[in-house]
Chain A
């Protein structure tokens, strides 16, 4: 297939999907709008994780640290200083990024790799959670409530779920585009080189420390902004929702299941997980934790049978059929 035809085809597909997603919330009821928003939300967070974990190969088990900082920064600024949540979101991103740079410069300076980095991230997220618990039990025993301003774009709160859907769609599309750019540019190749073999990457002149830190900065910035969205969506945030280990796990699961280090993998994974979790909730009802049990089983199956995720598995299957066509699927 020639390049220009492929390009035109890709643009057509993107425009068609875009139009479909824009009119979608007017075709379905509130419950499904909520589900779609949740899928985009976890897809977005997973994409943020994917830049650090999937592309640069630095596995984080503690992204709740950035998510929580984001949610707490914008919420506390709003409650105590009346800072507008949109500005709060930007500040949240910056706060998350600063934490990311702090943790990253410590861990990468001392050469923590693989599982050790993963566990260090977990430890930092837990330390932040403990601080949040300490603060919340004294000052916000019922969680931090966002002051209600009514239906207002300026104050980032709406009576209907549809505006949230559009905001999340926009954020998710932005993260998707960013991932696509990284995938296509030199930066992505540097990240992947670091992921595949750090020593070889270094010997080719890639500055490991700087590039890992860059991946960390992008990833933590985006994750923290997601935290603000969560707080505005539910208008309440507590320490468990913000910093809990379950959050860290859900953020990385999307990427792992969809395919880490791919553009669409995180969104696909988030979609699969959310559908499964809704399904189990409806079938098995009010038992707490059943959806996590299913997540555990899915995770086991994926790691054993599809170690590079659903997209990775598809790519391999297609690669065997048509050696040429595989690259297509990898990107789109």
Chain B
């Protein structure tokens, strides 16, 4: 264990918050799917990987700026989510919990290994000059792509929040996640809400993929890095809790970044799992959740 200096600590707090914004976006998608459909989506990381590759190929083949490709990755992942919901998830909504988990595991095995087959396990990165720039405020430096990712993630989160809060469709989605039978009696089409929720969840993580790709690497197995983090965040914030997922993301981003300043190497991931198990055991409703049952 090393004791970091104050400026290093501040720096890692800033980095943690920037990364946390992206984590929040990943987790909000997962949490939305869980809240509405009660499905723990193991394929969430694969969706993120698809988002990253969408951005990568659009940049390589068409030369379109990675941030502009949000306009592609969001609809592409939305449609992929719809298709998977319609043709697979729809059949197992009433199956036991672990069979649902296994189905999404199957989807993720399939997508990830298909990607491995098509695109090789190589790590790919973007070679764009402005991505290596940084913004300096006093003693703090923020890498430009991380700052952009954070800002976009917050904007998308706010848009989604207002969509869920203020529009009729958003209200219907929230109604379904609160009370299924009640929603049916007031005439909400459950099937349509399920499609939408899964599609929006996939679109969120696709957007997160696009935002992460410029400062991370793109590879078929990259999703596994994020999917566990997303589980941790969702559990921390309370399963299905939107605000909880947002702040959970920031907390995990901070814990990871500040932890790394104290503890070197692989062990920082150890802390993430430790938090995960700890919360599951002692605070299963999440930090912000009311205890059920």
Contact = CB atoms under 8 A, between A and B. Distances in A.
B187 interface: no
A295 B103 CA distance: 11
A288 to B, nearest CB: 6
B95 interface: yes
Interface residues of A, number: 39
Given A126-B228, A130-B270, A296 B109 contact: yes
Contact of B266 (A114, A133, A287, A292): A133
Contacts of B266: 130, 133-134
Interface stretch (A146-154, A230-238, A298-306): A298-306
A59 interface: yes
A296 B108 contact: yes
B282 A110 contact: yes
A291 to B, nearest CB: 8
B252 to A, nearest CB: 14
A289 B113 contact: yes
Nearest to A132: B266
A297 B106 contact: yes
B53 to A, nearest CB: 15
Nearest to A303: B103
A332 interface: no
B72 interface: no
B274 A127 contact: yes
Contacts of A61: 101
Contacts of B111: 296
By secondary structure, the B interface counts as helix
A201 B123 CA distance: 51
Interface string B76-112: 0000000000001001100111111111011111111
Contacts of A297: 106, 110
A304 B103 contact: yes
A190 to B, nearest CB: 19
Contacts of A116: 280, 284
Given A115-B40, A304-B88, A249 B105 contact: yes
A304 B109 contact: no
B267 A115 contact: no
Contacts of B95: 303, 307
B242 to A, nearest CB: 20
A307 B99 contact: yes
Interface string B99-139: 11111011111111110110001000000000000000000
Contacts of A245: 224
Interface in A94-153: 106-107, 110, 112, 114-116, 118-120, 122-124, 126-127, 130-131, 133-134
- For chain B, the bracket of interface size reads 35 or more
Contacts of A307: 92, 95, 99
A292 B269 contact: no
Contacts of A249: 105, 109
B280 A114 contact: no
A223 B248 CA distance: 35
A245 B112 CA distance: 14
A256 interface: yes
A296 B121 CA distance: 18
A127 B273 contact: yes
B81 to A, nearest CB: 16
Contacts of B273: 123-124, 126-127, 130
Nearest to A131: B270
B169 interface: no
A289 B120 CA distance: 10
B63 interface: no
A14 to B, nearest CB: 32
A292 B265 contact: no
A106 to B, nearest CB: 6
A300 B110 contact: yes
A127 B270 contact: yes
Nearest to B114: A293
B109 A292 contact: yes
19 contacts: A112-B280, A114-B96, A114-B97, A115-B101, A120-B280, A124-B273, A126-B273, A127-B273, A130-B267, A130-B270, A287-B116, A287-B117, A288-B121, A289-B117, A290-B117, A292-B113, A296-B107, A304-B92, A307-B99
Interface of B: 40, 88, 91-92, 95-103, 105-114, 116-117, 121, 220, 224, 228, 231, 265-267, 269-270, 273-274, 276-277, 280-282, 284
Given A134-B266, A293-B116, 19 more contacts: A107-B281, A110-B284, A115-B40, A116-B280, A119-B231, A119-B276, A120-B280, A123-B280, A124-B273, A126-B273, A130-B270, A288-B121, A296-B108, A296-B112, A296-B113, A300-B110, A303-B102, A304-B103, A307-B92
Closest 3 CB pairs of A and B: A296-B109, A296-B110, A299-B106
